[in-house]
Chains A and B, each alone.
Chain A
Amino acid sequence: MQTNNRPVKEIAQEIFAENQAERILGWKRGEFFYDNSPAVFSAADELQEFVYDAFCGSNLSKFLVKEAAKEGRIAVLLKPCDRYSFNQLVKEHRIDKENVLPIEIDCDGMVDIDKVRALGIKGIKSISADGDQLTIETVYGQKNCSKEDVLLLKCQTCKDRTGGDRFALVREIEEMSSVERYEFWRSELSKCIRCNACRNVCPACTCEKCVFDNDKSGIANKANSDSFEESLYHMIRAFHVAGRCTDCGECSRVCPQGIPLHLINRKVIKDLNEFYGEYQAGADDSSVGPLTSYELDDVEPDIVMNRGGGR
């Protein structure tokens, strides 16, 4: 893929060539073609393994919390959606901006290999793209699908690329009856294995010690020993990132159980926008978020009782 008509790899090479940074945070080619991993490159020759293609979904901003604290300036490749997380982390003083060289790169949507699999396509060997059409070679023969259909959830309603209605699914759930909503979430959340992948990948979850790991917090736990804990974990998490979540969609991408966790965050964002005015966390690195500010004439909590949506 290219940025400003230049392959991203070239940009990376230039960073080392011109000594702009000592290290580069990017992606490294995986075992298969779809399992690229985040990686830190510290010399030009290491860039042989550098890759930037449709399988670089992970948001590198989170890695900066640990990497930017190390010696030496680090360059980071940020897709448009990752830039928000970067700003937010700078705002919260989790990243030392001075030690980071942020490089914005283009993105035309990342593919979710699980979605390809969900189409019943097994034994995948390679994928080639021709416009929106993907041709997939498998041990069971050739298959085809449209790229749009197998994009990561976050990419299908990209804030920057397509401008799709990212709240459509939230609205659908809002319109359900209260019982249906309850059952929808029970069915989804009871899959949760509490692996903490959503939390650990989340760029808004960078606490030194998470309340769920802190025995003194009163809610620490390692497993959902009761269905309540399945809900509690995700509610508290959504609340802790409320007003700070940039909607990067990593939580849904990494959930091994395919729980649409981003819907909870989007619900919060939708509410915040409706109640307190449009706000995009991470749009800048200094504004005060909606839950750390207020207006004298804010809506009263009973708006929840009185507004539309299913009961």
Chain B
Amino acid sequence: MSIEKKEFKPLIVAFCCNWCSYAGADLAGTSRLAYPAEIKIIRVPCSCRVNPMFVLRAFQRGADGVIIAGCHPGDCHYTSGNYFARRRMTMLFSMLDFFGIERERTRVDWVSAAEGVKFSTVMNDFSKKIHELGENRRLGDLRCKQTIDR
């Protein structure tokens, strides 16, 4: 592993529900509202599709932050998905906090298809927090962070 100190380039995984937040991200794009390139979006049908395992997987693989975006409560395309997601993620985040993982590394936000501005603001804000926190050293798999070498 290279030991020279590089500028911290975080890795952020965003799970966006197909109906609201992914469309919100599209609108941010159409409106040319920039947010950092370190944020990569995974499209899921609904925020309730996000298994806590996926969040942990992202951290395992070296993510510095994970954000889940879904329809506003009450607006879920599937009527109740985001309500379940809300409970699950609250519990997951609380557990991560209990294990001493920085609270700011995880976030849930509700972004509608009309909220391109909000999408960009939320992502910029989240990225800023991750930059402040720096590299995720508490929850990750060393095997994934290192490049295999002799």
Contacts and interface: CB of A to CB of B under 8 A. Distances in A.
A touches B (Cβ under 8 A):
yes
Interface of A: 173-174, 176, 178-186, 211, 218-219, 225-229, 231-232, 235-236, 238-239, 242, 264, 267-268, 271-272, 275-276, 290-292, 294-296, 298-305, 309, 311
A309 B98 CA distance: 9
Contacts of A180: 100
Given A178-B102, A298-B83, A309 B97 contact: yes
B143 A268 contact: no
A309 B108 CA distance: 20
Contact of B56 (A236, A264, A296): A236
A265 to B, nearest CB: 10
A300 B95 contact: no
B99 A235 contact: yes
A303 B93 CA distance: 9
B101 to A, nearest CB: 7
Contact of A182 (B56, B99, B104): B99
**Binding site secondary structure of chain A:** helix
Given A298-B87, A302-B107, A304-B93, 19 more contacts: A173-B98, A178-B102, A181-B99, A185-B99, A226-B142, A236-B52, A236-B53, A239-B91, A242-B91, A271-B94, A272-B91, A275-B87, A292-B84, A296-B83, A298-B90, A300-B90, A301-B108, A304-B90, A305-B103
Given A218-B53, A219-B53, A226-B141, A174 B98 contact: yes
Nearest to A271: B94
Given A182-B101, A236-B53, A298 B86 contact: yes
B53 A225 contact: no
A219 B99 CA distance: 19
A301 B89 contact: yes
B33 interface: no
B29 to A, nearest CB: 26
B139 A304 contact: no
A231 B92 CA distance: 13
A300 B139 contact: no
Contacts of A299: 90
Given A218-B53, A218-B57, A228-B140, A267 B100 contact: no
Interface of B: 52-53, 56-57, 59-60, 73-74, 80, 83-84, 86-104, 106-108, 138-143
B100 A239 contact: no
15 contacts: A178-B103, A179-B100, A185-B100, A218-B53, A229-B141, A235-B95, A264-B98, A268-B91, A271-B90, A272-B91, A291-B88, A294-B84, A300-B108, A301-B93, A304-B90
A296 B95 contact: no
B100 A181 contact: yes
A292 B80 CA distance: 11
A179 B102 CA distance: 9
A304 B95 CA distance: 9
Contacts of A236: 52-53, 56
Contacts of B80: 294
Given A182-B101, A228-B141, A271 B91 contact: yes
Nearest to A272: B91
B135 to A, nearest CB: 14
